[in-house]
């Protein structure tokens, strides 16, 4: 897949606020490749055709509906953008993944579900999982067969994961 690339190193901290960028340093949608535009079009069409017709039911929290939509999104490759191809994902570059995420955001509820699934439920396995974990989890996460999630809340910890006290223990071999 052809990819758009940035030629200037990323700004450090807030230095971009103090620097005057040159026109060539600015990345715009005109710099997207045809493949990246197609990824965005696919994501946008999915939301318009598959998600929008169910907004009322989604807003009323119809049981199982969001999971069905995640699975449908996985079937067309939208749930595994950041998952390497060797594990059944699309293996998209960062710009393509950003385009995909932006286009899915036209309905916030689906965007949040996608973000939790892809960002905090799947990418930690991509970056830090063992080979066995990657082989076990990533193919099913990429297709939407399984939905990635992250749960964090304790009275003394709030969203501070380092201050959590709860511990999960395996009770049987399947769950």
Q: Residue 3 falls within a domain, yes or no?
A: no
Residues 113/54, Cβ–Cβ less than 8 Å:
no
**Assigned domain for 143 exists:** yes
- In a domain, residue 27? The reply is no
In a domain, 56, yes or no: yes
Full residue range of the structural domain in which residue 105 is found: 32-163
**Model confidence pTM above 0.95:** no
Token representation of residue 103? 């286009």
Looking at residue 121, the DSSP 8-state letter turns out to be I
Find the mean pLDDT for residues 1-8: 55
The total number of structural domains in the chain stands at 1
Q: Provide the angle, in degrees to the nearest 10, between the axes of the packed helices 94-104 and 108-115.
A: 140
**How would residue 86 be classed by pLDDT, with cut points 50, 70 and 90?**
very high
- What are the tokens at 84? 């390497």
Domain harbouring 51, CATH code: 1.10.540.10
- Determine, yes or no, domain membership for 16: no
Q: CA separation (Å) from 72 to 47, 76, 136, 142, 150?
A: 11, 7, 21, 11, 21
Domain membership of residue 122 (yes or no) is: yes
Q: Please write the tens of the pLDDT for every residue from 114-166.
A: 999 999 899 999 999 999 999 999 999 999 999 998 777 777 777 777 887 87
| Residue 174 falls inside a structural domain | no
Tens digit of each residue's pLDDT (9 = 90 or more) over 15-61? 878 888 888 877 788 899 999 999 999 999 999 999 999 999 999 99
Q: Is residue 119 part of a domain?
A: yes
Say if residue 5's pLDDT is above 60: no
Distance CA 12, CA 67 (A): 39
């Amino acid at each position: 897949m052809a990819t758009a690339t940035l030629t200037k190193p990323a700004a450090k901290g807030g230095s971009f606020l103090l620097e005057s960028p040159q026109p060539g340093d600015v990345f715009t949608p005109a710099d997207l490749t045809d493949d990246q535009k197609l990824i965005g079009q696919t994501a946008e069409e999915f939301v318009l055709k598959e998600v929008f017709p169910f907004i009322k039911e989604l807003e009323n929290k119809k049981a199982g509906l969001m999971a069905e939509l995640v699975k449908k999104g996985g079937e067309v490759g939208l749930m595994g953008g950041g998952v390497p191809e060797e594990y059944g994902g699309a293996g998209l570059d960062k710009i393509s993944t950003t385009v995909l995420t932006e286009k899915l955001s036209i309905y916030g509820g689906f965007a949040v579900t996608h973000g939790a699934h892809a960002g905090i439920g799947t990418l930690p396995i991509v970056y830090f999982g063992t080979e066995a974990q990657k082989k076990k989890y990533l193919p099913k996460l990429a297709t939407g067969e399984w939905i990635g999630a992250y749960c964090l809340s304790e009275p003394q910890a709030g969203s501070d994961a380092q201050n959590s006290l709860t511990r999960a223990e395996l009770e049987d071999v399947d769950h």
